[in-house]
Structure 1
């Protein structure tokens, strides 16, 4: 995770951003810290990446890479405003001794990649349509040695896969069908017939931008409908307030890069 010390909305690269809406940095920091504390209280180890001035979106740490079994497929951001973030993430991973593979294709890390280790022997779900290029899916597959399933996003409000789909545990997903093309919806139905289906209200509340550990589901507190759905499916919802970071187009999952050993 990376604290939002420099967080602001000074440019527009997704439909949620509005430069005329002020950001309360102090509140953003308090909300971020509460999310960090929540993860620690649930038993997780949280590493903190130092923020850098001039990179206001660095708080969305999930976009800096995609990790499977100790190997990191690095990020290459679509927009120049975020390009320098990739180097900061690379320095972190290499300092920690992770195997880092620099990408040649545009991709935004876990923003457009999800991993389910127990689904079909280990499966990468890979989004495209707005940020990550489809060629990056093949590259991630080669680097990480896991099959990648390409899913086309068609609604610009859900510009990253992690705004429309999430792993609840190692084999179960939740997703909003309307964010995907008809063909991708068919693929998801075939692969995950027991998925927890979300509706548009859940997705617009960033309810799918969540972190699940197999039992707990940490999600935006505005997504009360989504909390009820995951509870009905047998998980324990853990709501957190992230109203300030939502102004940048992100929520819980955007703030968390998962380190899979």
Structure 2
């Protein structure tokens, strides 16, 4: 057994792109390649082409386990056989060097941070005049929300790196994997994620955006049928799907007040306000 088999790697694998996923019926694609053996194979095949025999030594498991795992990884489009009997990982794995750079690069914002905060406070005052539905959130939380929305706008307008179209995958959706190498050192993964769900397919015209900050607990997005319930609440319609309403209450998206009235706990914008 190779000594590397005694030091298994830990990857945080995710996707970016579009899809319709919800555990446990239709989990995200990375769930199928997230076991320990798959993570090790993906890591060892990232910078070098590897054979089954080499992977068996590196991972410390019999070759037939490697072969079975490779079949799944290839089917899931995480791995390819680039030449006869040699395999390579098909997505980027960010190392500690990237995490270290991201942590140290924060200092570039120091000269503008005070003016940015002042601008965000002025933006908050202007937005409050629009009369948006704030869901009773305190000003501090709303400033975070408005700030990230402003950064999204600035990125779309000024960021020279444009969005890359994702290929159609085995499930018919367009997405790509990416991963971070997790080592527990002083440079943890710090990032901002964004998930969007729309109910335009089912019947409505709303979308739910969920932002994720590295180091904070994950907050799942709503799905189209759940957004439908929130839309009915906004428009004071009768709620017919009581099970879904109960699920929204359980997950903290909706609350039932003492008088029985249902209230959505997520801020909402009309199309005009959002634009």
Larger Rg over CA atoms: 2
TM-score (normalizing by structure 2): 0.24
TM-score (normalizing by structure 1): 0.25
- Select the structure that is richer in helix: 2
